[in-house]
Amino acid sequence: MAAINAPRASEPLSELNTTPLIDVLLVLLVMFIITIPVATNTLEVALPSETKPPVVQTNPDRNLLVVTQDGGLLWNGSGVSDGQLAQLLADTRAMNPEPQLEYRPDADASYNRAAHVLTIIKASGISNMGFSGNERYRSFGKAG
């Protein structure tokens, strides 16, 4: 006769049956989901109103463009974006006579940012432009 390899009654089972545990947990999860109240309360939130950007003045004689240390742009002291700068440059180019543009990047401004702004200026077609504040770097690289 063939012997049957059944575990003996004296040996404990080493595997835990987790199916009933999972069933109970799923039932509890469904019960918690069902008992969660629907959010019926509302909360009024005052959203900020749409504000217009500050009007940037263009001087008919001379305009100063500064690239700040953090990469921002200042047009005659007012902060502008790249898109606003392009529009301001187009407006000044349309003036007769064309006002002078003074370009003054900050000493700690990123070279890449300053070069990008120069690309915007060149693309606008401005012809009356100069660099100002270069006298600060007169002794650049000199000892003493």
User: What tokens does 12 get?
Assistant: 């404990």
Give residue-wise pLDDT tens across range 78-111. Answer: 889 888 899 899 888 888 888 899 999 888 888 8
- The SS3 assignment for 113 reads helix
Contact 81, 49 (CB under 8 A): no
For the chain, domains (ranges, CATH) are: 62-135 (3.30.420)
User: What tokens does 47 get?
Assistant: 């959203």
Top pLDDT among 9 and 75 is at 75
Give residue-wise pLDDT tens across range 27-40. Answer: 999 999 888 877 77
Average pLDDT over all residues of the chain:
83
Rounded-to-integer distance, Cα 78 and Cα 89, Å: 14
Q: Between vectors from CA 20 to CA 14 and to CA 24, what angle results, nearest 5°?
A: 140
Which pLDDT belongs to residue 56?
A: 74
User: What tokens does 18 get?
Assistant: 């987790």
Please state the pTM of the whole predicted model: 0.57
Residues 6+ apart with CB under 8 A from 118: 103
| Helix or strand run (H / E) with residue 124 | helix 111-124
Contact 73, 79 (CB under 8 A): yes
Residue 143 above 60 pLDDT?
Answer: no
